[in-house]
Amino acid sequence: MDFRKEFLVEPGCRVKLDHIDPGYKGKDISEDDAREHLEKYRAKLTDQQLLMYSEKKHSLLIVLQALDAAGKDGTVNHVLSAFNPQGSTVVGFKGPTAPEREHDFLWRVHPHVPGRGAVAVFNRSHYEDVLVVRVHKLAPREVWLERYEGINDFEKLLYHQNQTTIIKFFLHISKDEQLRRFKQRLDDPARNWKISDSDYKERELWDDYTQAFEDVFAATSRKHAPWYVIPSNHKWFRNLAVAQIVAATLEDLGMKMPEPLVDLRVIRKQYHEAAQE
């Protein structure tokens, strides 16, 4: 089972979201089996992060993008919570503040990228500046169009200069599934807080967002910073796919525990002497 091959947006290729079934749930995978596999992958994520934190040669940036209610928060809670908070952060990017608007669009992003040994999860990201900005016409076409090049250069810098592994996920749901999840928010008092004035207004722009995402994938999916389109109507399958892709990507780094910085023979001798006192 290698979802990286199945859901990868190949560099230089163009995907049509209408041709990808958001209700897909794998071949011969039951929900019960998925739960069992998910726990195994979560354990691998925990182990791999410990290696990354100890070795301090690599870092990991995970980008989550989606339309409303597709499950960005759920993915963080059910999959990426396997990472130890001591070595990981989750950052959400909303509309830029007044000071942020006075700088280039990546100025507010750079302070949040992970240093060596760390993991950062972007719940929405620098891609908002070629998605929301485009769809809502917050900047002229020539402005957001140039940002593709800026994003590619930015991600290339992270990869080559800081050994940052970049994984970008688009959580793909259907319009009907989004509406069903909106109703859950209305019916469940514990989810009322998630309701936004913009929820239904943004649905009117569904086709515009679809086109914007397709252009983003074509312009910015690279070997060192790939996009994956994850069918997400079934939350259990979404969680399984994301966990498997992240775990397999980290495993490929071949990370190892660093050698001790002290002479263990000396430390063992000191221990035995202390134990005999």
How many structural domains does the chain have?
1
| pLDDT of 23 higher than 80 | yes
> pLDDT grade, residue 188 (50/70/90)?
confident
* Domain limits for position 170: 3-275
More confident residue, 231 or 27: 231
Task: Give tens-digit pLDDT for 160-184.
Answer: 999 999 999 999 999 999 999 999 8
- The HSE-up count of residue 87 (CA atoms within 13 Å, CB side) is 22
Burial readout 199-220 (b: 16 or more C-beta within 10 A, e: otherwise)? beebeeeeeebbebbbbbbbbb
CATH code for position 232? 3.40.50.300
Among residues 93, 91, 71, the alpha carbon closest in space to that of 185 is found at: 71
Residue of 90, 83, 89, 91 lying closest to 52 (CA atoms): 83
What confidence tens digit (pLDDT) does each residue in 111-163 have?
A: 999 999 999 999 999 999 999 999 999 999 999 999 999 999 999 999 999 99
Predicted local distance difference test score (pLDDT) of residue 27? 86
> In percent, how much of the chain has pLDDT > 90?
85
pLDDT band, very low/low/confident/very high, at 263 (cuts 50, 70, 90): confident
- pLDDT tens-digit series, residues 202-261: 999 999 999 999 999 999 999 999 999 999 999 999 999 999 999 999 999 999 999 888
Tell me: the pLDDT tens digits for 48-81?
999 999 999 999 999 999 999 999 999 999 999 9
Instruction: Tell me how far apart the alpha carbons of residues 74 and 60 are, in angstroms, rounded to a whole number.
Output: 19
Q: Which pLDDT belongs to residue 72?
A: 97
Q: Which amino acid is at 212?
A: A
Structure tokens at 34: 């998925």
What is the model's pLDDT at position 274? 86
pLDDT of 197 over the 80 cut: no
Beta bridge partners of 123: 64, 92
Stretch (H or E) spanning 145: helix 141-162
> 170 forms bridges with which residues in the sheet?
65, 229
Q: How confident is the model at residue 99 (pLDDT cuts 50, 70, 90)?
A: very high
Specify whether the CB–CB gap between 66 and 74 falls below 8 A.
no
Pairwise CA distance, residues 239 & 241, whole Å: 6
Q: Are strands 59-66 and 119-123 parallel, antiparallel or unpaired?
A: parallel
